[in-house]
Structure 1
């Protein structure tokens, strides 16, 4: 069933793509001619960028609210994979994270970490609108804006990039203005310099985002339309913009520049709005309005989405309100109509599991995996369902899944449970350690590794001991790196 927006520390989300809030500053200036920064066919992502991004993500998870929705996660991962070949990035294995916030926001940090709030799906009425934001974030990554900001900061004695990102983490954890102030530094002249630099970054990310969209077959006009909708939002909210606009200030000159570039772009085959996106959007609206599902229905009706998206949302509501048979009947009918939409049978298997129909969940997920062997949501449901029937079989499924998804804490949480219930106590503690370190609790993870080491020593398990030693070194490296963000 649809996962809730998990709550952690209260957070005022800020987008982390380097632009500082623009209050009381006039950014309506003509941008300089944007440079061509990509001098070769690809831009290899450095090991340092990957280390920085992975370390930051662990800290972020310790502060942020998570939206635990594997079906939406799979959709976003597929979308990023569709866009990535149209960038010049290479050597990147992107990690997407869903944030449990109804606020309009998205972000990207070095090493290919991309985050999207549930609220962005609610705001973006068409798939191309969402794509415009993701493509913009990929533009930031491609143009090395973090590395360039760091170099600029060193030239002007502004705090290092780690310190800037630490300030953003403070804000994300509820520190608000204090966190933003920490990221900005103390001297007004330096702040002004960074704001001017950030304005240039935004134009560069717009330019590349538009090109990425067009190359991938999406209408680049959607980015301009999003800008205009955001401007209207500001006026309706009395000049109080959402977090995304605090860090991505939209000005008339920026809109005009983007429109000019759109007019010059040629897109041969435009993708139409996908039903898959509208189904994912229905999930986000229900997650946001789970206390009053009728609000989600009202929003979909207002936006005039396809009838099948409304049927899908009704099925989710039926499951939430204790009518699983009705929900599964509707989903099966939709699956027959749209056999290529993998999220439909995956949703049915998930609902079966969440409503106690464990055997159905196992059968449905296995059936889907015969047709789509690598589909992550179905693999996850199968592993979780098997935990209630056959812990050893669950361990096999979840171990393979963990090998494929080394950065997914929920997989390791289930793997720890499966290992413990199947008599693999040392490996269960190792899996729990992985879950803890992925969510920023490094010291607790090391404690779990020490428990696993004691068990492995008693059992004379040299293979597991070697694994534990290697992982302990990695954990300590992450702990040392995380000190930079505190």
Structure 2
């Protein structure tokens, strides 16, 4: 990613300058070692080392900006799965864990990265990514939570900052030792000087390996503690690591799988995790009678937030989850919802509609144990993906009849109705759901998708009323900004539409596009004083960042049809190449179902739930 390369280059150059005055021959070595350290640490978290606990290189605000820039850049490359239901789920699950961590007040952003690899990473500013390949590989919500809790531990324990600070401290004394060795061998054999450099490099690498192992162990222990506090199975971390160790063995050519490279698993690490989990399980068991006696006063679990009518917020902290430990019944409810979301990920990341449909239909026909609610839901989504809305509607209605209070099934019915041509029925269902689930982001986005496909002023006004309150808390949401922009455009408010399109471009990683769109708005003669002031203030904010990108020779992509589509303000459809805020979709009457473009893990006839 361009933004990551800029950060790494800038920070490495600063450190290299500190060594420059010592000995010219060490310049290449110092830069090489620091680059190597960056790669080793990146293997832990899939990011360069950018942070200093002393705040010399990166302040908390800068860390947040870098994390946000990384997310925006990944969006621009279609590397983020921004499905509304999945965004709600992964953040609710993440904040359920954060609420029981040692730093419940720290800000986090959780998102799904589109890739079939089995991995996750933590980034500066509290940004945590879970790869879709890992999501569909987990078998329980506790396993998914275990990986997320581990990454939360890296953030709460300041491992990114400590890693870079350690690199700074290590580079200078080892470089000095190498300098002495080189001076001592001057005039002698060239092999002695080479040996001095090799020894120094080995020392640096060994120090970094030891530091990495310490970080991983600490993140494991903090993660297991968080799992136990949040009433997930604390044994899930050791169990998942053990399963990955057995399943992901190095190939015949010696290539180590991604997960094992970034999260090295050893027998001692698994044993330590098991011991820690056993101790914490006993502590939780001793507290269970007290929890059951106060069950009527507990806050809802993260998944329950998505299921119950009338709950507007998205952050479990708003419901007092920081002092809540879920009861076993809540874990069962949460597990069932997790299974639905796992199958949703599987379908939305499938490349071939017929292949994913065959995966479900074949297994449902041949394997009785595969016939579960979650797999039936995946089958219904696959039918919708394969442009068979009538069959999808039948499946969704069966699911909805069995669980009428399940929002996910009701949304599925509405999407199927709309795609099948029963638009009035679908819009009526959406409106009724809005009454029961006010200010629900996922529902609002899907409802607005349907309204915008009506392409009339009345639907546009309804969309504005629906999204305007949510934008107060979700202003950095490119999907919401895009839909709001299109609604404003249809309603005749071209200025507000232009502003929203610019915001959508910004949060989708197209910063220069956003700046150009705002500058274009300033040429309008119908701007009032306040509109012009807001637009010019935003231009002032974005200009330094764009100039810095230009200074780094990072230029925006060509203004192709895809980018022009953002300015045209067209909403999402189900074409994988025309998605979200940087899409160029046309006004189609097809389904509003959002489908991804990347592959998930290979489909098989084995049950995965």
**Structure 2 Cα separation of the partners of residues 132 and 414 of structure 1:** 35
2:478 maps to which of 409, 433, 437: 409
| Residues 153, 222 of structure 2: 8 Å contact kept | yes
Partner residue of 2:440?
A: 375
Partner residue of 1:308?
A: 373
What TM-score do you get using the length of structure 1 for normalisation? 0.78
- Structure 1 unaligned blocks of 5 or more: 1-15, 23-36, 38-44, 159-185
| Residues 394, 418 of structure 1: 8 Å contact kept | yes
Tell me by how many angstroms 1:208 deviates: 0.8
| Residues 120, 147 of structure 2: 8 Å contact kept | yes
**Structure 2 Cα separation of the partners of residues 472 and 91 of structure 1:** 32
| Residues 353, 381 of structure 1: 8 Å contact kept | no
Q: Secondary structure at the match of 1:115?
A: strand
The 5-angstrom pairing of residues 264-279 of structure 1 reads 264-266=279-281, 267-268=284-285, 269-270=327-328, 271-272=331-332, 274-279=335-340
Verify: 1:472 aligned to 2:539, yes or no.
Answer: yes
Structure 1 residues 425 and 250, CA, compared in 2 at 3 Å: closer, same or farther? same
Q: Secondary structure at the match of 1:203?
A: helix
1:54 maps to which of 68, 83, 95: 68
Q: Secondary structure at the match of 2:116?
A: coil
Structure 1 residues 446 and 353, CA, compared in 2 at 3 Å: closer, same or farther? farther
Tell me by how many angstroms 1:373 deviates: 0.9
**Structure 2 Cα separation of the partners of residues 17 and 425 of structure 1:** 47
**Structure 2 Cα separation of the partners of residues 82 and 59 of structure 1:** 27
| Residues 40, 208 of structure 2: 8 Å contact kept | no
Partner residue of 2:268?
A: 253
| Residues 360, 379 of structure 2: 8 Å contact kept | no
| Residues 19, 199 of structure 1: 8 Å contact kept | no
Q: Secondary structure at the match of 1:114?
A: strand
1:459 maps to which of 511, 526, 533: 526
Tell me by how many angstroms 1:236 deviates: 7.1
Structure 1 residues 275 and 461, CA, compared in 2 at 3 Å: closer, same or farther? same
Verify: 1:109 aligned to 2:174, yes or no.
Answer: no
Tell me by how many angstroms 1:290 deviates: 4.6
Structure 1 residues 235 and 18, CA, compared in 2 at 3 Å: closer, same or farther? closer
- Structure 2 unaligned blocks of 5 or more: 1-37, 45-52, 54-58, 173-199, 286-326, 555-609
1:426 maps to which of 481, 495, 498: 495
**Structure 2 Cα separation of the partners of residues 318 and 277 of structure 1:** 21
Query: Which has the bigger relative contact order, CA under 8 A and spacing at least 6?
Result: 1
What TM-score do you get using the length of structure 2 for normalisation? 0.63
Greater Rg by CA: 2
Q: Deviations over 1:284-321 (max 9, x none)?
A: 22234451012356679889566211221221223233
| Residues 286, 296 of structure 1: 8 Å contact kept | no
Tell me by how many angstroms 1:381 deviates: 1.4
**Structure 2 Cα separation of the partners of residues 434 and 403 of structure 1:** 14
| Residues 360, 375 of structure 2: 8 Å contact kept | no
Structure 1 residues 157 and 357, CA, compared in 2 at 3 Å: closer, same or farther? farther
Verify: 1:317 aligned to 2:382, yes or no.
Answer: yes
Partner residue of 1:343?
A: 408
Decide which moves more: 327-336 or 118-127.
Answer: 327-336
Tell me by how many angstroms 1:356 deviates: 4.7
Structure 1 residues 405 and 424, CA, compared in 2 at 3 Å: closer, same or farther? same
